[in-house]
Amino acid sequence: MALKVSDIGEKELINYILSQSGDIIADDSAITRLNNLNLISTCDMLIESRHFPKNMSYFEMGFKAVTVNVSDLAAMGADPLAFLLSIAVYKDLKVDDFKEIIEGVISACEYYDIPLIGGDTNEASEIIISGTALGLCDNPLMKNTAKNGDLICLTDKIGLAALGFELSENNIYTERALKPLARLKEGKVINEANATSATDITDGLASELYEMKPDSLGFMIYEDKLEISDEFKEISSSLNLNYLDLILHVGEDFELLFTINQENDLDIDYIVIGEVNTSDRIEITLSNGEVKEIENKGYNHYVS
């Protein structure tokens, strides 16, 4: 029986594309040497039925389309240069709704100080927004360059967006789900402080840890260091959801996950959640002291 794309998943499809692309440095974004500069480029596509909650406004759709791309620049420690927008909508969409999407895009571009320089439009059966972000960086942060003994860190708590997708009333969780913000400033600070590796949390902490793990090294994180509130646990339980599953396997936080030398310090708020070791495994120490291997599972666009 012939393999289907759902059998191998998004990451394997991306790896196949990269294998056919010749000499390219690919990480959270592509790196291209250009006149003694590093051009950082990334693109991301959002589809209405899969990426936009039903209670998300058209403005928020547009804003998020920019954020998901700028977040990749942030993970490299890059300065934003330009943004391109391609958008497909159904022919019966109200013009005012279309304008609201574009207002969200423009607002986000102003927020991140990244000019909109072009794009394209087309017709589709649902709203599809594809963005391309360009940036510049002298020494881009890479994903899998952590060193043994490094601290594993986050720019803030995670899992809030994952829980927010399950809720309808407005609160801190739905705000993180509907109005995510890229950690652009933090990415530059992390880069200037000589962090050893970094990525952004889009598909879940577990998935990103596996993306970051260097050969022969391992990661140990600690439940007690993830700063999981009692409220988070209680709401998750009331929805029959596993709170650790939300934190490890859902994503959409757009926080930065990074590693730094233990002697290093940063002029930003951040959370230390673990350390790099030589176990060649990715594990979590639970609050009860039990050590468990973390499953390599995250959001997959090709699994319904």
Query: Tens digit of pLDDT for each residue in 24-33?
Result: 555 557 888 8
Mean pLDDT of the chain, nearest integer:
91
- Segment 241-300, tens digit of pLDDT: 999 999 999 989 999 999 999 988 898 999 999 999 999 999 999 999 999 999 998 654
Give how far Cα 260 sits from Cα of 72, 184, 268, Å.
19, 18, 13
56-68 per-position pLDDT tens digit: 999 999 999 999 9
Gap between the Cα atoms of 2 and 260, Å rounded: 44
Pick the CATH number of 151-293 from 3.40.50.300, 3.30.420.40, 3.40.50.10680, 3.90.650.10: 3.90.650.10
Confidence of residue 6 (pLDDT cuts 50, 70, 90): low
Write the DSSP assignment of 125-153 as a string of letters.
Answer: SS-EEEEEEEEE-SS---SS---TTPEEE
Higher-confidence position of 1 and 232:
232
88 contacts 127 by C-beta, under 8 angstroms: yes
CA distance 73 to 40: 7
Burial 231-250 (b: 16+ CB within 10 A, else e): ebeebbeeeebebbbbbbbb
Predicted TM-score (pTM) above 0.75: yes
- The percentage of the chain sitting over the pLDDT mark of 70, rounded to a whole number, equals 89
Query: At residue 302, does pLDDT exceed 50?
Result: no
Q: Does the pLDDT at position 93 exceed 60?
A: yes
pLDDT band at 36 (very low <50, low <70, confident <90, very high): confident
Strand-strand pairing, 116-123 and 79-89? parallel
What are the domain boundaries of the chain?
Answer: 5-136, 151-293
Q: Read off φ and ψ for residue 9, nearest 5 degrees.
A: 85, 170
pLDDT at 301 over 50: no
Mean of pLDDT values over 204-217: 95
Q: Which of 252, 30, 255 is nearest to 162 (CA)?
A: 252
Question: Could you give the C-alpha distances from 280 to 51, 60, 84, 213, 214, in angstroms and in order?
Answer: 33, 40, 40, 8, 9
Rounded average pLDDT over 124-140: 96
Bridge partner residues of 30 (DSSP): 26, 41
- Does residue 75 carry a pLDDT above 80? yes
For the 5-136 domain, the top CATH level (class) is: alpha beta
Tokens of residue 62, six digits: 């547009």
pLDDT band at 304 (very low <50, low <70, confident <90, very high): very low
